[in-house]
Chains A and B, each alone.
Chain A
Amino acid sequence: MAKETGMVSWKDLALGCAIVKPGSSAELKTGDWRSERPETDYEKCIQCGQCYIFCPDMVYTQNELGFYQPNLFYCKGCGICARECPADAISMVEESE
C-alpha cells in the first residue's frame, strides 16, 4: 500500500518550524513550472524597466548596457512582463523540449 510521509523528520525541524538558513529559497528552482517564456527584442526595448517592476518573481535584472534580462531559473511564464511592456518588446514563446 502506498503512503505519504513528510519531507523531513519532525526531530530535524528547526524550533517553531523556522527557516534558519537565510536566502534558501534562491536554491529552489521554480522555472520548470513554465510553459511559455518571455523573449525580449532588444531592438525595440527602451530600457524603461517596467518588466523589472511588474515581474512578481523578480526575474529581471539590468545588465551593464542598461537592458533588463530574465533569469529563467525562477520565471514561471506568467506573461505579465510581455503584457506591461510599453514598447511591445517582449513576446511569450512556447517552451519546447
Chain B
Amino acid sequence: MAKRVGIEVSIAVSEAVKLANVDVVAAYPITPQTHIVEHLAELVADGHLDAEFIPVESEHSAMSTCCGSSAAGARTYTATSSQGQALMLEICYIAPALRLPIVMTVANRSLSGPISIWNDHSDMMMSRDTGWIQTVAENGQEAFDLTLHAFRVAEDSRVLLPVIINLDGFTLTHVIEPIEILDQKEVDRYLPPYQPQMRLDPEDPVSIGPVGMPEVYTEAKKAQDEAIKGSKEVILEAWQEFGDLFGRYYKPVETYRTDGAETLLVTMGSLSETAMTAVDHMRAKGKDVGLVRIRLFRPFPFEEFLAAVEGAKQIAVMDRALCLNGAGGPLAIEVKAALYDEPERPYIWNYVAGLAGRDVTIENFVEMADGVEAAAADGLRGDYTMINVRE
C-alpha cells in the first residue's frame, strides 16, 4: 500500500529509483543534486538496493559509464545539475543517438558565470536539443511519479530513448513535503523488468556507435527525430496507465482556470504552483486570468499547447533562462514558433524571471498578467523583459 510520508523531495526521488530496481547508478555529486545520489549510495551500501553504484571521477565519466551499462542491457540511472551536465553534454548527445534508455534527474540550477548554485532552467535549456525526452516536475509528488514514468517510457520498445526528469534545485530538491510513496508491488505492476531490444553481448556481437558517413548521417538523424516524435504516444499512454493504477493523472500540458480567460500565464516547473495561487488571487478580483503549465518539454506537445491557449487574447510566458541576444527566452521562442501558423494568434510578452534562485512571488505573476495586458493595449511590439532587475 502506498504511504503518505513527510520526506525531502531528493530522498523521495532516490526511493523511486530504488523501487525501479535499477541495476547501475553512475553519478558524480554536485549541488543541489547531492542528496539524491548520496541516498542512493547509502541504499546500495546498506544492501537495500541490489545495484552497482559507480562513483565516477567526473560527470563526463558518469554519462559514459551510463552509456556502457545501458548498452549492456542494464537499467541505468544518473543525476546531475548545471556545470555537471555541461561537462557530460558531449555524451548526452550520444545516448539518444544510440537509443539507450538511461534515466537522469537534473536538479535544475543556473549555469556559471557568475558562479551560481541556485535554481533556474538554464541547464534544462542547454540540453534542449540533445534528443532526450524531458519532463518537468512541479512538486515532490510529481518528482517521484515522473521518475517511475521515465523508466517506463524510456525502456518501451517503441521508444528506447533516454529521459530527463527536471526538478527545480533547492526549491524542490531540498524541500520536505508530504509525498505518497508507492510500495514495491505497486511499482512492479507499473514497471516491468527491462527487456533490451539489442545489447552488447559477446554471444551475439553488434557494433554500436559507428561513424555516420555523409551517406548515412542524415538518415540516422531522421530515424532519431521520428523516434522522439513517436515517443509522445507512449508518454501519454504511460501517464494514463499510471493514473488508472494510482489515481494521479498527468498531462503534457496542464491548464488551471483557463475557462474564459483572456490572459494566460505560461510556466514550467515548481513556480507553476505559485502562479496558480496568483491566478486564484486575480480571479477573486474578477480578472479573467488562467494558467498553462508545461510538463512535457521534449518532445514539445504542440497540439496540446495550442488547444490549451485557444481563445486567449494575450499570453505572458515566463522563462527561467535567457537566450542571450535571441528572440526571447527559450520557452517563449518555442511558444511563438508553435503559434506562428495559427490564423489567430494571441499577443505574447515574455518575462525572464527567477534566475539563480531570485524569488518569483505571487505579486510578480500579477505583474506579468497586468504587463502583458497593458503592452497588448498599447500595441507594443512583443518583446521580453527581465523581472525584478534592480536598475
**A interface list, Cβ under 8 A from B:** 6-11, 13-20, 22
Q: If A10-B222, A17-B220 touch, does A22 touch B206 (CB 8 Å cutoff)?
A: yes
Cα distance A19–B207 when bound, in Å? 5
| A17 touching B160, Cβ below 8 Å | no
Q: Which residues of A contact B222 (CB under 8 A)?
A: 10
Q: Within 8 Å of chain A (Cβ to Cβ): is B167?
A: no
Most B CB within 10 A of own CB, among A8, A9, A18, A20: A18
Complex partner residue of A15 from B160, B216, B219, CB under 8 angstroms: B160
| A10 touching B220, Cβ below 8 Å | yes
Find residues 174-222 in chain B having any chain A CB closer than 8 Å to their own CB: 197-198, 205-210, 212, 215-216, 218-220, 222
| A6 touching B206, Cβ below 8 Å | no
Q: If A10-B222, A13-B223 touch, does A18 touch B216 (CB 8 Å cutoff)?
A: no
Closest to A9 in B: B219
Report how many residues on chain B are interfacial, defined by Cβ distance under 8 Å: 22
Interface readout for B76-106 with A: 1 if CB under 8 Å, 0 if not? 0000000000000000000001111000000
Q: Which residues of A contact B160 (CB under 8 A)?
A: 15-16
Cα distance A13–B223 when bound, in Å? 8
| B98 touching A16, Cβ below 8 Å | yes
| B99 touching A15, Cβ below 8 Å | yes
Given contacts A7-B215, A10-B218, A16-B100, 12 further A-B contacts (CB under 8 A): A8-B219, A9-B219, A10-B222, A10-B223, A13-B216, A15-B160, A16-B98, A17-B97, A17-B98, A17-B212, A17-B220, A18-B198
Q: Within 8 Å of chain A (Cβ to Cβ): is B226?
A: yes
| A6 touching B208, Cβ below 8 Å | no
**B interface list, Cβ under 8 A from A:** 97-100, 160, 197-198, 205-210, 212, 215-216, 218-220, 222-223, 226
Cα distance A11–B223 when bound, in Å? 7
- Please report whether the interface of chain B is mostly helix, strand, loop or mixed according to DSSP: loop
Query: How distant is B34 from chain A, measured CB to nearest CB, in Å?
Result: 32
Complex partner residue of A7 from B208, B216, B223, CB under 8 angstroms: B216
Cα distance A39–B260 when bound, in Å? 86
Q: Which residues of B contact A15 (CB under 8 A)?
A: 99, 160, 197-198
Cα distance A16–B98 when bound, in Å? 4
Q: If A10-B222, A11-B223, A22-B206 touch, does A16 touch B97 (CB 8 Å cutoff)?
A: yes
| A19 touching B223, Cβ below 8 Å | no
Closest to B225 in A: A10
Q: Please, could you name 12 A-B residue pairs with CB atoms under 8 Å apart, sorted by A?
A: A8-B219, A10-B219, A15-B197, A16-B100, A16-B160, A16-B208, A16-B209, A18-B206, A18-B210, A19-B206, A19-B208, A22-B206
Cα distance A14–B53 when bound, in Å? 31
Cα distance A9–B218 when bound, in Å? 10
Q: If A10-B222, A22-B205, A22-B206 touch, does A17 touch B216 (CB 8 Å cutoff)?
A: yes
